[in-house]
Amino acid sequence: MLEQGTKAPDFTLKDKDGKEVRLSDYLGRKVVVYFYPKDNTPGCTKEACAFAGAFKQYERIGVTVIGISKDSETSHRKFADKYELPFILLSDPELTAIKAYDVWQEKKLYGKVSMGVVRSTYIVDEQGVIEKVYPKAKPDTNAAEILEYLMES
């Protein structure tokens, strides 16, 4: 995992509509960048819906929310439409940002070892520096925990 105080790696990825989004486009405002394993799975859906539920509060304090997985743009579009997700979802099939943020790691499931995205969240400050890291984020509390931190800081 990247550490607090590290310059956040810039990336350019496509959103659910095929539009290119760069992290550096958001310099001057805080950005929550959360990485998740897969669209439409129980944990990832719970996490996305929690961010959607808190979206107006994030907007009110001027924070952009970006979710990233290796799913396709089409998968993201269906996921966003199905659950009315108002924030940015980026597709990273080449694992560009996923590897740059060190969230592509070995995972164990039922004794089987494989590589995959470890659910993690970064808060990037207005200067593009990682302000806070949430490794192994919990899908049901991640959005609220981050919002609480942002409201206090």
Active-site positions read: 44
- Where is 45: in which H helix or E strand? helix 42-53
Q: Which residue, among 22, 3, 96, has the nearest Cα to 64 in the 3D structure? A: 22
User: What sign does the dihedral 3-104-101-66 (CA atoms) show?
Assistant: negative
Q: Which residue, among 117, 146, 132, has the nearest Cα to 3 in the 3D structure? A: 132
How far apart CA 92 and CA 49 sit, in angstroms, is 20
How far apart CA 146 and CA 134 sit, in angstroms, is 9
Identify how many contiguous H helices and E strands the chain contains and give both numbers: 5, 9
